[in-house]
Amino acid sequence: MTIARLLRKTAIGRRPTCLAIVVFPDEAAVFQAYRLLHYHGISPENLAIVGQGYSSPERVGLMQPMQIATRKATTLGGAGLLIGVCVSVVLALFYELSTQELTWLASMVGVGAIVGSLTGALVGVVSGLLGEGTTVSIYRHHLRQGRYLLMMEGSEKLVRWGQEVLSYYSAPSPH
């Protein structure tokens, strides 16, 4: 295996992918846009139609807002736990290095861990619900209203090309 191939397979050489989501009012419009993008050279591998009769939101990775908040709370809670333990150990050793009281040190570490994990979890829930969760809930609302989503994923150049093609051929949106 060459170095270039190895770098392509690792995170260092991987190109970041971009995502664009376009909302359409009905099945005919989304299918027409899908065919138009395919006609202009965008592969069906990079496109997904989400809606009634097509891919489900879960299948394409459009999670529920509470799932996003739970994941962020778990991740940031764990990070807060580690940071709280480290900070409390450093502070306890810095201030009480001479007395060597282990009970005080243990309680300080425990309190730091609890405070750090709760703070991290709270920040995770808030950022999950107000950040990505808000965007996801907007798209899920469109799906509940009977609309369709056309998702384009690929390189930035590919996604911009797709958006340009759609904007050139589309009329202003009624919503």
Specify the length of the chain in residues: 175
Residue 99 has pLDDT above 60, yes or no: no
Amino acid at 40: H
150 has which bridge partners? 22, 49
Burial of 60 (0-12, 13-18, 19+ CB in 10 A): middle
pLDDT reading at 37 higher than 60:
yes
Pick the CATH number of 16-52+146-168 from 3.30.70, 2.60.120, 1.10.600, 1.10.3470: 3.30.70
Q: How far apart are CA 44 and CA 144, in angstroms?
A: 25
Report whether 88 contacts 112 (CB < 8 A): yes
Cα 24 to the center of its chain, rounded Å: 22
Better-predicted residue by pLDDT, 69 or 1: 69
**Residue 116: per-residue pLDDT:** 87
pLDDT at 1 over 70: no
Model-level pTM greater than 0.85?
no
Give 95 or 43, the one with higher predicted confidence. Answer: 43
pLDDT interval class at 6 (50, 70, 90): very low
Tokens representing 54 are: 């097509």
> For residue 107, what pLDDT is reported?
78
pLDDT at 46 over 80: yes
pLDDT band at 3 (very low <50, low <70, confident <90, very high): very low
Task: For residues 101-110, give the mean pLDDT.
Answer: 73
Q: Cα(first)–Cα(last) distance of the chain, in Å?
A: 52
Name the residue ranges covered by the structural domains of the chain.
16-52+146-168, 63-145
Which of left, alpha, beta for 53 (phi over 0: left; psi -120 to 50: alpha)? left
Q: For the CA atoms of 46, 163, 169, 25, what is the dihedral angle to 10 degrees?
A: 70
| Mean pLDDT, the chain, whole residue set | 81
Tell me the pLDDT band of 5, cut-offs 50, 70 and 90.
very low
CB atoms within 10 A of CB 119: 16
Give CA–CA dist 111/106, Å, rounded: 9
